[in-house]
Amino acid sequence: MKQKSFYNKSLSFLAVITLVLLSACGAKTTGAPTTSAAATQSSNAASTPAAAAKEKVVVNIGIQGKTGVLNFAREKGYFEKAFTAVGAEIKWNEFASGPPHFEAIAAGRLDFGATGGTPLISGQVGGVDFKGIAVTSDGKKGNMIIVPKNSPIKELKDLKGKKVAVAKGSSAYNFLYMAIDKAGLKGDDVKVIQLQPDEARPALDSGAIDAWSIWEPYATTAVYQIGASVLVTGEQLNINAPSFLIARTKFTQEHPDLTVLFLKTYEEARKYYVDHQDEIANELSKSQKLDKAIIVDVLKNTFPILSPITPEFAKAHQEQADFLLSVGAITKKLDTSQVLESKFIDQALKK
């Protein structure tokens, strides 16, 4: 039997994501009325819905990290070009990890983003009104557990009694739990230290932690820069943990055309991104001041896709939620299909 005490630490995170959904009414502005008698008829016409000034739609897109399709698209102006053509405006919102995306969606401050699967689960538990609208990765390669150079830790069971850092609520968070479970370790065997990436890396460098469950590009960067070793990857454990593009449900209902346009634009950027990896590596190496070899490996480990939510991906996501329930990390059974919707990506990918 698995002990649940190890996983109860995640309950605080899952409680935090439980938010009261905020609603706000945007006030529409109208043009000032004319005062001349000759303009009276025109002024009356302007008050009708057909002639009223149309309010510009502002599309808020969430972004995290420094690599990936959304970062590339932002740098090259893909979304600005596509949405300006239909009279909409793009605003970018930066986040340190996936969970804050859902707080912003709940508050009505974010329309689209890209995260791992674990934040979707906690967002659903918290009652956030969102949809996973496409799959961007099968999640097998992106997450890893790494250990410092010359570490005595050689396999997962060696983590017993060790301090392992991980970002609360991230995809690497659930990955760590699943890896420990596969190793047959009991809950209290591992000391989980909640650290964001910018805190965990110095801790790894100084020896304050024994291992780090993390995603790219942080894992490969540590391997190259400090001689860290990869203990295990999701691919090695055959953990299929898809990542998703997410959307605020109300936005998709009010602007289905813009939702499809978002996906079409993402796909346009993604195709260039995957077809010009050497060019991308050169640009990222310069902008991030990292050796090109690091970027090349990161790109190999984070190869992006854009897919409808196939039965295989839906099943994998449901299994993640079921696993978190089984270890006490969430307290209610979820039907994850309720927040997964492929109709927009199906339209976007039609020739």
| Fold matches, 12-18+55-138+241-348 and 141-237 | yes
* pLDDT of the residue at 187: 65
Identify the CA nearest to 164 among candidates 141, 151, 147.
147
The answer to whether residues 132 and 245 touch, using CB atoms and an 8 Å cutoff, is yes
The class of domain 12-18+55-138+241-348 in CATH terms is: alpha beta
Taking the C-alpha atoms of residue 203 and residue 194, their distance in angstroms, rounded to an integer, is: 11
Q: What is the pLDDT of residue 243?
A: 94
- Domain spans of the chain? 12-18+55-138+241-348, 141-237
CB neighbour list of residue 34: distance below 8 Å, 6 or more residues apart: 40, 42, 43
Q: Which pLDDT tens digit goes with each residue over 160-174?
A: 999 999 987 788 888
pLDDT tens sequence across 56-69: 899 999 998 788 99
118-165, pLDDT tens digit by residue? Answer: 999 989 999 999 999 999 998 888 789 999 999 999 999 999 999 999
3-state secondary structure of 246: strand
CA distances from 276 to 141, 271, 279, 283, 302 (A): 20, 9, 5, 11, 14
Contacts of residue 64, Cβ cutoff 8 Å, sequence gap at least 6: 94, 95, 96, 97, 98, 101, 114, 115
pLDDT at 256: 98
141-237 classified as CATH 3.40.190.10? yes
Confidence (pTM): 0.78
Residue ranges in the chain modelled with pLDDT below 70? 1-54, 187, 351
Find out whether the peptide bond into 119 is cis, omega within 30 degrees of 0. Answer: no
* 163-166 and 191-194 beta bridge pairing: parallel
Length of the chain: 351
DSSP assignment, residue 74?
H
Are the C-beta atoms of residues 311 and 342 closer than 8 Å to each other? no
